[in-house]
Structure 1
């Protein structure tokens, strides 16, 4: 058995080339992964869901080949071990962040129900929730909260709440002006007892 030259990096019986081909392949994989992740995060509804998975797989392949390459260099004593472990560790950390469901991506378990959106601190969210209530099949169950939104401090929220109540009731039963909230509240109680 021949003794291997410790200056030549190798993986098993394969010698790593001295040419920059491997480095170019690694950087190409990194660029593909970065481009895929960027496109998937900036255009989530346009691109196929597989683009994000493809980016994650490309980056995973990059990290794997990068680790093999770095540790072969460490084994040949041509690269410091601490630096190689740090670089591979950072690569694995970024790979974990690319995995689905990580880094703040909205998941079904984190979506807030409409009831919570109707009392959100942001008035634009409250107005949009009022608008969404009239489109729901079970919209009448939000009637009491919509009546509460008629007394909101923001005019846009009040307008959307009134439009939703009128759409759900089929007409302007409670109307507007003095006492409108109480008339709508009476309708909401009746609608709630009818839906049970």
Structure 2
């Protein structure tokens, strides 16, 4: 990560902020012009990943990494829907809330883990799985407690979609930054 030099231990915060902003901008801008779906998710994944990788200083293998990241984002969202819907079907009395919670935790954990493996290799799988899961859990609880996912739209923009994608980017950025902090601590 080339953003911070020296012995600072703030890569995690910078990664979180860069991931949040990269995917917030890309998801919001594309959602202004294209209805939420696979195309907007694909385009958001491309632009969000380009911004994330460039701003974090991961320029090596950029095209490959962006391609894999975009595939990972679409796959993560599909996996999240599968897990969320399965959870809701198995436990119908718990309602949509816990299905949505399972969805968001799965999506953010899967994407953060995939990005970590894309950038640092499969040896880092355990680290990114744990870091992404814990971060996803914290952010999902925060989202559920504040009750911000209410199916709201603004000027045709699906704000739930923007929130989901922004959370995905924030978790991935945080995990990538935290890995840098841990790597430099040893």
- The reply to whether TM is greater than 0.5 is no
Higher-RCO chain (CA-CA 8 Å, sequence separation at least 6): 2
Which of 1 and 2 has greater Rg? 1
